[in-house]
Amino acid sequence: MRRSVALALTLALSIAASAHEKDDRAAAKSLAISARPHLNVIAPAPGFALRDSGGALVRLSDLRGKVVVVAFIYTSCTTVCPILGQQMASLQKRVNDDPLLRGRVMLLSVTVDPARDDAAVLASYAAKLGADPATWKFLRDSPEALTPVLGAYHEWTRTMPDGDLDHPARVYLIDADGQIREIYSLAFFDPRQALIDIRSLAK
């Protein structure tokens, strides 16, 4: 079962890479917003249990019944992560402003750099972005605990000459039953579309 899930997720990611991960910002800006998205089941979301910035254990399985958005970031990133952070902040506001979604959606930002992103650093980063812990949590853990989670989501890191980490800027949309329904790359992640997608899953 785990093997079939991994194969399905690998196939989905390869399609996303070929279709989305060309960093074509101009194309992203020209994308139309789809009012009626087709969000087929891609694969079961790999489970995990990680610590939030307050030290509490957050299990993906405990979030069943909610639509979950999972992004992978690190706080010292100077390129794509600040953009993604602002997009997630915009999505949080849109979710919290919608009385039908409030309490039914959880945003999770998972660090790919646990060595530098300790709990205090993550808490400060979350505060700067205006994260509401009831809606948006920042997660980390020991490298030993985090590495298999990153591997399950096909997240890799590569140290660049300037010390930055190169990594896939992907965002996962997970439905209330724990199924991955969309995989966004940064160039194709629009908070407006994400909100429509979330609404379609929260019906």
Residues 6+ apart with CB under 8 A from 58: 49, 50, 51, 52, 108, 137, 139
Give yes or no for residue 17 having a pLDDT over 60.
no
User: Residue 13 — pLDDT band, cuts 50, 70, 90?
Assistant: low
Reported as a single tens digit per residue, the pLDDT across 191-203 is 999 999 999 999 8
User: Residue 1 — pLDDT band, cuts 50, 70, 90?
Assistant: low
Reported as a single tens digit per residue, the pLDDT across 98-110 is 999 999 999 999 9
- State how far the Cα of 185 lies from the Cα of 165, in Å rounded to an integer: 17
Q: What's the pLDDT at 168?
A: 82
Reported as a single tens digit per residue, the pLDDT across 52-83 is 999 999 999 999 999 999 999 999 988 888 99
- State how far the Cα of 1 lies from the Cα of 3, in Å rounded to an integer: 5
User: Torsion angle of alpha carbons 195, 197, 199, 203, nearest 10°?
Assistant: -170
Give yes or no for residue 5 having a pLDDT over 70.
no
Give me 33's structure tokens. Answer: 């917003």
Question: Which carries the bigger pLDDT value, residue 3 or residue 88?
Answer: 88
Average pLDDT over residues 30-45: 87
Q: What domains are there in the chain, each with its CATH number?
A: 2-201 (3.40.30.10)
Q: What's the pLDDT at 7?
A: 47
3-state secondary structure of 145: helix
Reported as a single tens digit per residue, the pLDDT across 138-192 is 999 999 999 999 999 999 878 778 777 777 879 999 999 999 999 999 888 999 9
Q: What's the pLDDT at 3?
A: 52
Counted residue by residue, the chain has a size of: 203
